[in-house]
Homo-oligomer: A and B are copies of this chain.
Amino acid sequence: MPGVISLAGGIPSSELFDREGLSIATQKVVAENFNDAFQYGLTEGTVELRQQLVGLCQERGITTSPEQLLITSGSQQALDLLMRALVNPGDVFVVERPTYLAALQILSLNEADVKSVGSDEHGMIVDELEALLKTTRIKGVYLVPTFGNPSGTTLSASRREQLVKLAEQYHFVIVEDDPYGAISFTETREKTLLQVATERGSQENVVYTSTFSKILAPGLRVGWIVLPEWMKQKVAIIKQATDLHANSFTQSLVSAYLTLDRLNPQIELIREVYKKKCLSLSTFLHQELDEHITFNQPQGGMFLWASFRYEFDATRWLQQTLEKGVVYVPGEFFFSDHADKKTLRFSYATATEEQLYEAVQRLKSAL
């Protein structure tokens, strides 16, 4: 709607797209890799891109090989393939409260019995999971452990260790969804769950997935999965039946882009800009709405998860804020159960500083 400022979308800022780099990469594809880019390809993805991803994973502390990697149409498809491979109807899958909305949709589509455990400023409360495990056989745990969507929080090192140990003890799979991990506002990095597990020799319990959507461009629809040995064949069979293979053209495009050595500078730019926007939104919220709203300061990613300090219906409030010209996502949509209606998710990725300021003014006027 014209004039409405959206803090709702989970989309990255188009203004930060590396227009020059992506243009050069596109030209390279057409000039140097035409036939492969327009022809059918391998189910697992191109060998070139998988080789490059081994290096990219290494930068994230993950040691893998092209044979363990499968390229997907974004990490959304990674989740769909994984849940189709893992979940039989009625299997218990555990998510965080709150959790990524589309993961709930996929779990529901696969008829999982979804259970949730709470989270706080250090991410999933793994003690709650441990209590659940004493009474319930679970197939797996799905989480976004770093700069989570919607919570913006990061699972602490001790909880990572605890979660990985529980997976060893109770034999469940951890699906580690990491679209935002590279977009850190500090130099502190938690190890991925896959790295923690690998160091303990239990890497077969963790499936890691990530994507170029938030660090390069989502329209490319290129994500990837690092698969444990026992899942490789099953996931590949499902991938083939689902859509044969990921887009040849945009896989080539990403490969060409990676050869330009522009990805890390591009990620630096995104980190810097999102950090600035996040700090601005935080500052404006503190200044204007501190008596009403509380939140944890995000250390990375695209989302600020806020909560009213008192009982409040954030879903109904959206009507009023819309009239004032600002929208967000009501928090209750991110819960599989025990919805907390006083919560709400703000994205700071696409709005300008001026819009963020104006948005907070409008929120205030809607109270």
Contact = CB atoms under 8 A, between A and B. Distances in A.
Copies in the complex: 2
Contact of A219 (B12, B41, B238): B41
A247 B250 contact: yes
A10 to B, nearest CB: 8
A17 interface: yes
A243 B40 contact: no
Main SS of the interface on chain A?
helix
A77 interface: yes
Given A219-B249, A250-B250, A244 B76 contact: yes
Nearest to A18: B38
Nearest to A89: B89
Contacts of A58: none
Contact of A76 (B17, B102, B243, B246): B243
A246 B14 CA distance: 18
A37 interface: yes
Interface string A224-268: 000000000000011011111111111001000000000000000
A137 B291 CA distance: 63
A95 to B, nearest CB: 15
Contacts of A240: 102, 105
Contacts of A11: 39-40
A42 to B, nearest CB: 12
Contacts of A218: 38-40, 248
A209 interface: no
Contact of A40 (B84, B219, B237, B246): B219
A249 B19 CA distance: 13
Nearest to A24: B30
Interface residues of A, number: 50
Given A38-B17, A39-B14, A218-B39, A74 B244 contact: yes
A351 interface: no
Contacts of A221: 243-248
A34 B220 CA distance: 12
B73 A247 contact: yes
A217 interface: yes
Nearest to A14: B35
A22 B30 CA distance: 9
Contacts of A250: 247, 249-250
Which 10 residue pairs spanning A and B have beta carbons closest together?
A219-B248, A38-B217, A77-B243, A38-B219, A73-B243, A105-B241, A14-B35, A247-B247, A40-B218, A221-B247
Interface of A: 11-12, 14, 17, 19, 22-23, 26-27, 29-30, 34-41, 72-74, 76-77, 80, 84, 102, 105-106, 109, 213, 217-221, 237-238, 240-250, 253
19 contacts: A11-B39, A14-B35, A14-B39, A17-B38, A22-B30, A37-B219, A38-B218, A40-B218, A73-B73, A73-B243, A74-B243, A80-B241, A80-B242, A109-B238, A221-B245, A221-B246, A243-B243, A247-B247, A247-B249
